[in-house]
Amino acid sequence: MITTPMGVVASLVALRQATVTFEYVYEVILILYLMSLFVTLGNFRLWLATTAWMAGLAAVAERLVPTFTDSDCAKLLAAGFLGQELAHLITGEKTFQSTYQFKTLSWPVMLLEHTYFLLPLCIDALIHMPESFASWIVAHNFVVRCKLTDANDKKAMKTIVDFVTEEDPARDCTAHWWYQKLNSDVRDAFTHVMECPEILGMFQKRFRSDAYAIETIPAMNEIYVSSSHHDNNSDTVFYTQHCDGPWSVYPFCHVYRVMLAVNENVQVETHFTMEGGGGCLSDGDAVGFDYNREIHVISDLPTKNKDRRITCKMHYVVYPRCFGRFGKLLGILTTWYNTNARNLFLATIKPRGLIWKFMAWVVVFTTKRVRELEKYAGLNNVMTTVALYVLGQYIHPRFFMCATSFTHYCMYIATYHVRTGINFGVFKRNVVYFKAIALTHLCVNYIANFTYDPVSIAMILMGYGLSTSAVMALGIDQTYFGVELGVMEPNFVSGFPYNVVPHPMIVGSMIGLLGLHKMDTFRTALPYLVPMHCFMYFTHMVQEQAQDIYRNAEERKANSVKRSNREKAKAA
């Protein structure tokens, strides 16, 4: 979608320059090409999309014709070709051309046909992508779960339980046995559950096996036995909301910690703060979560375990296959951190003296502060914001404002489109974070360009007052797609402001935005900022109307009733 348009634009510029002395020849060639596609494609929608795309590329070419030389056209065409080859090399995918080139004497004919259908082929590939482009910006739920029930899996888990029982560690603090130091029988049992089909299949359901590599990290693995109490030592961390690792900004790659319960547990629950799920892991239950990103915590139920809670902590690095060593590097970095953190934890499980008691306090304090950052802002979001700000210092004074003012709308639209497999807590955090930045831009610029305008002030107060009342009527969770994402039942509000204005949240926000735009000095300084905000709001409002989940639910219910009535009539 980048390299192909580059090549087409270069070709159009060259064609335009070659036919400049012949009136309308360029236009006739384009029209004949598009008309021929109408006949050969046999798909009106695909043809319409191709025509629109070609019109856009032709418009770009027209802008470049006056300044482009033959050399520039050749460079752009070469850049498109080499860029496409590089993309296929990085991803490990074969080009379509490589499947037929030099295979038969007639391959040049196939190349011509391939070139002729190049634009519609790109659109068709885009339509049939396994995932939408919109999924790139949504907050995916990366928590995975399964249960080991196979006889061989149970046998391996029993071997681990028997080993811990024989070792009989102290019950007043946690116990750890590192995978690499286990005796052969226990290590073999651990290896079996670590590589069993159920565990690996759990990942393959979440990550496409053709696109992602899943590799074990043995150096981080351990058998873990929980303690009977957790007073004022590093064990307290596990009963505090926390993330395990520091590498949350590492892009597109994950290190997973899988917690596998190898014996009965009716006392200790594991909760995932942002995802909202959790419960007791017992007798073969396994849950995997991102070691560096997922906030989690354990808590005790009133019921007591009959024996120690024994867990296998297994670790995996998951990365796009095209990343190669860059993906593997995250596993190395996380292992390095885990080793050092492990040594600190061991030294502070039973802190002796003021220094180690202070270190235990530091562990708990740091854990809480990192959790707060990740829960309310997200280190990814913070680092992205900083990077955009720094980049803006070299590009344009308004770059940072433009890059961060509309992100939350894109998240609204993309999440509403995808709707499945969303981490609701992370989604809320992300949109609130970027919406706060967008509102800050508006407020700062309104104050900086302020001149007294009572109508402007009244519109702002009325608009945002209406929007705020809508939020209060619905509640935060329903405001941020709680119903659409399936995390709560709908609360149908019939009172104010929903009995007065349709879509009061969006309408109120747009009135408030137009109030900002009403002030002459603000409008002169930033003529396009508010119109762009309103356009994004309006786009999402249209999306909600076009994809009304309540209407579809009513239609499905009505169709279900009709089918039921027909079946009853047939039975009668």
The pLDDT tens digits of the residues spanning 254-282 come to 999 999 999 999 999 999 999 999 999 99
Q: Which of 12-26, 142-156, 379-393, 549-563 has the lowest mean pLDDT?
A: 549-563
Give me the pLDDT at residue 94, please: 79
Confidence of residue 131 (pLDDT cuts 50, 70, 90): confident
Return the closest-CA partner of residue 219 out of 370, 328, 366, 293. Answer: 328
pLDDT of 553: 52
Instruction: HSE, CB side, 13 Å, CA atoms: give it for residue 53.
Output: 20
Q: How confident is the model at residue 130 (pLDDT cuts 50, 70, 90)?
A: confident
Residue 438 has pLDDT above 90, yes or no: yes
- Helix H or strand E segment including 286: strand 285-290
Measured from the Cβ of residue 411, the count of other Cβ atoms closer than 10 Å reads 20
DSSP label at 422? B
C-alpha to C-alpha distance for 244 and 262, rounded to whole angstroms = 21
Residue 349 has pLDDT above 80, yes or no: no
Least confident of 59-68, 154-163, 251-260: 59-68
pLDDT at 571 over 60: no
Q: Which DSSP string corresponds to 208-227? A: -TTTEEEEE-GGG-EEEE--
Q: What is the number of other CB atoms lying within 10 angstroms of the CB of residue 471?
A: 15
* Helices 25-41 & 44-64 angle (0-180, nearest 10): 160
Residue 572 has pLDDT above 80, yes or no: no
The span from the CA of 137 to the CA of 160, in Å, is 41
Lowest-confidence range among 33-47, 348-362, 485-499?
A: 348-362
| Residue percentage of the chain with pLDDT more than 90 | 64
* Backbone Cα Rg of the chain: 30
Indicate if the pLDDT at residue 74 is higher than 50.
yes
pLDDT-based confidence at 364, cuts 50/70/90? confident
Are the CB atoms for 547 and 416 separated by under 8 Å? yes
How many CB atoms sit inside 10 A of residue 68's CB? 19
The CATH number, out of the four listed (1.10.287, 2.60.120, 3.30.70, 1.20.272), of the domain defined by the range 144-363 = 2.60.120
Domain range list for the chain? 3-128, 144-363, 379-555
Least confident of 45-54, 367-376, 430-439, 529-538: 367-376
315: Cβ–Cβ under 8 A, 6 or more apart, which residues?
216, 217, 220, 221, 255, 256, 257, 258, 291, 334
Q: How confident is the model at residue 560 (pLDDT cuts 50, 70, 90)?
A: very low
Point out the least confidently predicted range of 76-85, 159-168, 403-412.
Answer: 76-85
Enter the tokens of residue 2: 């980048």
Half-sphere exposure of 502 toward its Cβ, with a 13 Å CA cutoff?
5
- For residues 509 and 97, the model is more confident at 509
Closest among 33, 65, 62, 64 to 50, alpha carbons compared: 33
What distance in Å separates the CA atoms of residue 255 and residue 142, rounded to the nearest whole number?
Answer: 11
Q: Of 283-292, 498-507, 530-539, which gets the smallest average pLDDT?
A: 498-507
Residue 394's alpha-carbon distances to 398, 399, 400, 438, in angstroms, are: 11, 9, 10, 21
Is the predicted pLDDT of residue 371 greater than 60, yes or no?
Answer: yes
Structure token digits, residue 145: 């779960």
- Say what the pLDDT of residue 357 is: 77
The CA-CA-CA angle for residues 278, 281, 283, to 5°, reads 155
Average pLDDT, the chain: 89
pLDDT of 567 reads 43
pLDDT at 534: 94
DSSP code at position 235? G
| pLDDT given at position 85 | 83
Quick one: pLDDT at residue 394? 94
pLDDT band at 89 (very low <50, low <70, confident <90, very high): confident
Report pLDDT for 494.
84
Q: How far apart are CA 563 and CA 366, in angstroms?
A: 59
